[in-house]
Structure 1
Amino acid sequence: MQFLARRENGFLARRDVDAVEEMDKPDCDPVLLDRTYSQFGLINATVAGWRRTWAAQIRPRLSSSRPSTLLDIGSGGGDMPRAFARWAARDGLQLSILGIDPDDRAHAFATSQPPVLGLTFRRAFSTELVAEGLKFDVVTSNHLLHHLAPEDLQSLLADSEQLSRGIALHNDIERSRLGYHLFSLGTLPLRRSLIRRDGLTSIRRSYTAAELASVAPPGWEVTARFPSHNLLVHRASDA
């Protein structure tokens, strides 16, 4: 009983940095991977909280008369850039969006979907865009930070500061028991993809708000968001 109690107390106490998501493996089943990309839209619409962030942080920076630009880093299958494009069109805003991802498989899936006006995808790292001197009004990423090694996280945040002339918003999962158990139950029907398996691995790899704040450079602010998410924000005017 004491052994079981110790195990329970230690569950999710630390980041499981050695856990690897199936979709990050080069030999990942391509059928399962494509099914996973196709289901990300549903998952992100349910748990990621971007509609609230769009309304509070992004939409006020855009205009119906002046063109604006948004860069989504690690765009995966492209569901979030597509959502941003829909919301901008709905709100009558001029917005050009670039989604980047270095993974050939993600890029192939994203570009295989129906085209959206004002949205383009590119297979690239953020460092390549920095080297090209590109700037964007808004820089975003979704569920990316927990994938990165410590040095890659610092590189991403440095690139985000260079690429953004307005605001950078990195939205990621927060590690918690409640989030783990709710996601485990809520995704039980999604058995023909990697959503459940990799999602639980992602939670084990993810940061708490305090952990993320401790590794974020000066000028970045962490806000814990419901349900079980962290929003890491940098405003160019604050630098």
Structure 2
Amino acid sequence: MPFFRTLTIRAKEDELMDDFSMGGEELSEALQHLRRLNRIFPAAAPTLHGVDKLWQANGRPPKLSILDVGAGSGDINTKLLKWADRKGISLQITLVDMTVEACEEARRLFREEPRVKVIQGNVKDLDERAADIVTGSQFIHHFDGEELVDMVAHMLQASRYGIVINDIHRHAVSYTAVWLMTRLISRNRYIRHDGPLSVAKGFKGRDWRELKAKLKMSSMTYSWRPLFRYSVVIPRIANQSSSDRKGR
């Protein structure tokens, strides 16, 4: 992955993690190293911000279910569990990922946490209103165009209250920081290739405005969060059916 590249528009290249014919021990190692990156660049904060916002908007219910799609090893959810403990919320989290390696890593990480379960699967196969809140952290940047709109629509369909998207701000500072840090902490080719590319595939404000227009969701909000991330919240309209969304 080159050190210098244009960030004017979103990158189109596929990440190595998008190739499901690969994987194995190298991918498992990459997921472990990704957890280190998530701690260095506080990756959980935008998700926590959005979940708290939806929780408050829906009357601060004492019970809450969260479905994290494209979850990887799901490490950012440790912050949500601590948040629930502070708030006295009975929280249940379901992690969904398509790869065996991610599910195995998630099960290892949460092996002593009964509030978390792991499912190997595709967001497109989830039941309607499967959880109160559906989250996606560093997941949505894998998609573009109509595929991006379709993926967000499926996330909305699977939620009762709405969805929270946590993704990367496409910016020269974040790209440089991730490029350097991935080379400092890892020799894993997934990390060195996909880390900077994730930033190049990330978003700017105009990208979120375009998505908002395509979804026709006036209630969608997005806010910049440290460090170079966006917290995007899309409440689900109570009387909006899946057929309504498909008709757009």
How many Å apart are 1:145 and its aligned residue?
1.1
d(CA) in 2 for partners of 1:135, 1:202: 28
TM alignment of 1:157-236, pairs within 5 A: 157-193=152-188, 194-216=190-212, 217-219=215-217, 220-236=220-236
- Is residue 32–residue 192 contact of structure 1 (8 Å, CA) maintained in 2? no
**Runs of at least 4 residues of structure 1 off by over 6 A?**
62-65
Specify which of 19, 34, 37 is matched with residue 25 of structure 1.
Answer: 19
In structure 2, what residue type is equivalent to 1:192? R
Q: Which moved more, 1:137-146 or 1:40-49?
A: 40-49
d(CA) in 1 for partners of 2:232, 2:162: 11
Q: Which moved more, 1:147-156 or 1:40-49?
A: 40-49
How many Å apart are 1:156 and its aligned residue?
1.8
Unpaired runs of 5+ in structure 2? 241-248
- Is residue 46–residue 225 contact of structure 2 (8 Å, CA) maintained in 1? no
d(CA) in 1 for partners of 2:200, 2:49: 30
Specify which of 99, 115, 124 is matched with residue 127 of structure 1.
Answer: 124
Q: Over aligned residues, Cα RMSD in angstroms?
A: 2.7
| Residue 87 (structure 1) aligns with | 83
| Residue 245 (structure 2) aligns with | none
CA 1:170–1:123: 2 relative to 1, 3 Å: same
* TM-score in terms of structure 1 length: 0.82
CA 1:157–1:48: 2 relative to 1, 3 Å: farther
- Is residue 72–residue 141 contact of structure 1 (8 Å, CA) maintained in 2? yes
* TM-score in terms of structure 2 length: 0.79
TM alignment of 1:52-67, pairs within 5 A: 53-54=47-48, 57-58=51-52, 61=55, 66-67=62-63
Unpaired runs of 5+ in structure 1? 1-7
CA 1:91–1:66: 2 relative to 1, 3 Å: closer
In structure 2, what residue type is equivalent to 1:23? M
